[in-house]
Amino acid sequence: MGMGLRIGLLASHTGTNAQAMMDACGDGTIDGEAVVLISNNSKSGAAERAQRGGVPFVHLSSVTHADETALDQAVCDALHEYDVELVVLAGYMKKIGPITLEAFAGRIVNTHPALLPKHGGAGMYGSHVHAAVLAAGDTESGVTIHVVTDEYDSGPTVAQARVPVEAGDTVDTLAARVQGVERGLYVATVAKVAWGEIKLPIVCGGAGE
């Protein structure tokens, strides 16, 4: 191994998306390798998954670096240390700092559980997003894979998938329907980057309608 796209994963909690990326690298869906997993939570499920999968794990947080700039630099340094080419946010609950953003401009991707630019921005994550979709009376929601910039959820869209909002939906039922397509779309999008169908750095929307 060691050939293909070098992927750095950032995760905070259970690490299910990180696991999906590691699995897809392992079975050849993604022509690449998860070379490091960084978490701001040393006891996260993501940390356990990295260790089980033989992926180097680095804990970087306010515990290790009280100063935000120092933490940002440490994240950037870790990604450079492992020669990361694409940074995949897999349920990472911290904002990416300006040092890392500049060093990896157009090379950091995230998934958002709605159709951006709707229902994005600060505080719009998880169940908050689905609640906003239902409150707006939208007839569809979905998933957006986007490039990370210095503003929450405002970077170029790389891929989108749509799911219907059905009568009687709750936050939980809508979340389950969105999650049903999210992981597959995220893996498929990273695979396209790895196989060269989406060029790095990603500077404009690579997706059509």
Any idea which residues carry the catalytic annotation? 112
Q: Would you say 144 and 116 are in contact if contact means Cβ atoms under 8 Å apart?
A: yes
- CA dihedral 156→147→16→137, nearest 10 degrees, is -30
Distance CA 44, CA 35 (A): 18
Q: How many helices (H) and strands (E) does the chain have?
A: 6, 7
Beta strand segments in the chain, E = 5-10, 32-39, 57-59, 86-89, 108-112, 140-147, 157-164
Distances from the Cα of 181 to the Cα of 33, 61, 82, 173, angstroms: 23, 31, 30, 13
Residues 6+ apart with CB under 8 A from 163: 140, 141, 142, 143, 177, 178, 180, 181
Cα gap 184→38, rounded to integer Å: 22
